[in-house]
Protein backbone atom coordinates (compact mmCIF):
# COMPACT_ATOMS: atom_id res chain seq x y z
CA UNK A 1 0.00 0.00 0.00
CA UNK A 2 2.83 2.37 0.81
CA UNK A 3 4.42 1.83 -2.57
CA UNK A 4 1.11 2.51 -4.32
CA UNK A 5 0.75 5.85 -2.50
CA UNK A 6 4.25 7.14 -3.41
CA UNK A 7 3.21 8.53 -6.85
CA UNK A 8 0.25 10.29 -5.25
CA UNK A 9 2.44 11.97 -2.61
CA UNK A 10 5.20 12.86 -5.07
CA UNK A 11 2.71 14.38 -7.52
CA UNK A 12 1.14 16.51 -4.78
CA UNK A 13 4.56 17.60 -3.49
CA UNK A 14 5.64 18.53 -7.02
CA UNK A 15 2.49 20.59 -7.48
CA UNK A 16 3.05 22.39 -4.18
CA UNK A 17 6.68 23.18 -4.99
CA UNK A 18 5.83 24.53 -8.44
CA UNK A 19 3.01 26.62 -6.93
CA UNK A 20 5.53 28.70 -4.95
CA UNK A 21 5.66 32.10 -6.69
CA UNK A 22 8.73 32.92 -8.74
CA UNK A 23 8.92 36.30 -6.99
CA UNK A 24 9.91 34.55 -3.75
CA UNK A 25 12.74 32.75 -5.50
CA UNK A 26 13.85 35.95 -7.24
CA UNK A 27 13.80 37.81 -3.94
CA UNK A 28 16.02 35.21 -2.31
CA UNK A 29 18.45 35.37 -5.24
CA UNK A 30 18.44 39.18 -5.02
CA UNK A 31 19.45 38.96 -1.37
CA UNK A 32 22.44 36.81 -2.32
CA UNK A 33 21.16 33.35 -1.49
CA UNK A 34 22.51 30.40 -3.43
CA UNK A 35 20.25 27.95 -5.23
CA UNK A 36 20.39 25.39 -2.41
CA UNK A 37 19.72 28.04 0.23
CA UNK A 38 16.75 29.29 -1.77
CA UNK A 39 15.33 25.78 -2.01
CA UNK A 40 15.83 25.03 1.69
CA UNK A 41 14.93 28.38 3.18
CA UNK A 42 12.27 29.70 0.80
CA UNK A 43 10.74 27.10 -1.49
CA UNK A 44 10.40 24.21 0.97
CA UNK A 45 9.13 26.46 3.74
CA UNK A 46 6.51 27.96 1.46
CA UNK A 47 5.45 24.54 0.12
CA UNK A 48 5.57 22.68 3.45
CA UNK A 49 1.88 23.07 4.40
CA UNK A 50 0.80 21.68 1.07
CA UNK A 51 3.27 18.80 1.28
CA UNK A 52 2.13 17.90 4.81
CA UNK A 53 -1.49 18.14 3.73
CA UNK A 54 -0.74 15.86 0.77
CA UNK A 55 0.94 13.29 3.01
CA UNK A 56 -2.00 13.27 5.40
CA UNK A 57 -4.40 13.00 2.47
CA UNK A 58 -2.40 10.05 1.14
CA UNK A 59 -2.50 8.36 4.54
CA UNK A 60 -6.26 8.74 4.74
CA UNK A 61 -6.56 7.46 1.18
CA UNK A 62 -4.43 4.43 2.06
CA UNK A 63 -6.62 3.69 5.06
CA UNK A 64 -9.73 3.85 2.91
CA UNK A 65 -8.51 1.54 0.15
CA UNK A 66 -10.44 -1.69 0.49
CA UNK A 67 -9.70 -4.28 -2.14
CA UNK A 68 -5.92 -3.92 -2.23
CA UNK A 69 -5.83 -4.34 1.53
CA UNK A 70 -8.05 -7.41 1.29
CA UNK A 71 -5.77 -8.95 -1.32
CA UNK A 72 -2.54 -8.04 0.47
CA UNK A 73 -3.45 -8.78 4.07
CA UNK A 74 -5.23 -12.07 3.59
CA UNK A 75 -8.27 -13.14 5.51
CA UNK A 76 -6.65 -14.32 8.73
CA UNK A 77 -7.90 -12.54 11.84
CA UNK A 78 -4.49 -11.93 13.36
CA UNK A 79 -2.87 -8.90 14.97
CA UNK A 80 0.89 -8.95 15.35
CA UNK A 81 3.82 -6.54 15.43
CA UNK A 82 5.79 -8.72 12.98
CA UNK A 83 5.44 -7.19 9.48
CA UNK A 84 6.21 -10.55 7.86
CA UNK A 85 3.12 -12.33 9.23
CA UNK A 86 -0.42 -12.11 7.90
CA UNK A 87 -2.61 -9.61 9.74
CA UNK A 88 -6.13 -8.35 9.54
CA UNK A 89 -7.38 -4.85 8.94
CA UNK A 90 -10.69 -3.09 9.35
CA UNK A 91 -11.48 -3.33 5.66
CA UNK A 92 -10.76 -7.08 5.60
CA UNK A 93 -13.14 -7.58 8.49
CA UNK A 94 -15.86 -5.58 6.73
CA UNK A 95 -15.50 -7.72 3.62
CA UNK A 96 -15.58 -11.00 5.56
CA UNK A 97 -18.57 -9.92 7.65
CA UNK A 98 -20.64 -8.88 4.64
CA UNK A 99 -20.10 -11.91 2.41
CA UNK A 100 -23.24 -13.84 1.58
CA UNK A 101 -26.84 -12.98 2.36
CA UNK A 102 -27.20 -11.23 5.70
CA UNK A 103 -30.20 -9.71 7.39
CA UNK A 104 -29.79 -6.08 8.29
CA UNK A 105 -30.31 -6.63 12.02
CA UNK A 106 -27.88 -9.54 12.33
CA UNK A 107 -24.87 -8.99 14.61
CA UNK A 108 -22.45 -9.54 11.73
CA UNK A 109 -24.03 -6.82 9.62
CA UNK A 110 -24.20 -4.38 12.51
CA UNK A 111 -20.54 -5.11 13.35
CA UNK A 112 -19.56 -4.43 9.73
CA UNK A 113 -21.42 -1.11 9.77
CA UNK A 114 -19.73 -0.21 13.08
CA UNK A 115 -16.33 -0.98 11.55
CA UNK A 116 -17.22 1.16 8.54
CA UNK A 117 -18.17 4.00 10.86
CA UNK A 118 -14.85 3.71 12.71
CA UNK A 119 -13.00 3.70 9.39
CA UNK A 120 -14.93 6.79 8.30
CA UNK A 121 -14.20 8.60 11.57
CA UNK A 122 -10.47 7.86 11.37
CA UNK A 123 -10.33 9.13 7.77
CA UNK A 124 -12.38 12.21 8.68
CA UNK A 125 -10.07 12.95 11.61
CA UNK A 126 -6.99 12.73 9.38
CA UNK A 127 -8.59 15.05 6.84
CA UNK A 128 -9.49 17.58 9.54
CA UNK A 129 -5.92 17.48 10.85
CA UNK A 130 -4.63 18.03 7.31
CA UNK A 131 -6.92 21.03 6.84
CA UNK A 132 -5.82 22.47 10.18
CA UNK A 133 -2.13 22.09 9.34
CA UNK A 134 -2.55 23.63 5.90
CA UNK A 135 -4.58 26.58 7.19
CA UNK A 136 -2.26 27.22 10.13
CA UNK A 137 0.99 27.31 8.18
CA UNK A 138 -0.20 28.61 4.82
CA UNK A 139 0.83 32.10 3.87
CA UNK A 140 -0.89 34.08 1.19
CA UNK A 141 1.28 35.16 -1.72
CA UNK A 142 0.46 37.43 -4.63
Query: d(Cα 109, Cα 70) in Å, to the nearest integer?
Result: 18
Query: d(Cα 78, Cα 86) in Å, to the nearest integer?
Result: 7
Q: What is the pLDDT of residues 34-48, one digit of tens each?
A: 999 999 999 998 888
Among 54, 28, 53, smallest CA distance to 42 is for 28
**Averaged pLDDT, 73-88:** 66
Among 119, 94, 120, smallest CA distance to 108 is for 94
Q: What are phi and psi of 114, to 5 degrees?
A: -65, -40
Query: d(Cα 38, Cα 31) in Å, to the nearest integer?
Result: 10
- Res. 111 pLDDT band, cuts 50 70 90: confident
Amino acid sequence: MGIMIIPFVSSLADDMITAVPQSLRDGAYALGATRSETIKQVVLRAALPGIVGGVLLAISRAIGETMIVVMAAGLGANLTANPLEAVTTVTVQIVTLLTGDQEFDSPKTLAAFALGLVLFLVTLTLNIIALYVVRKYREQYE
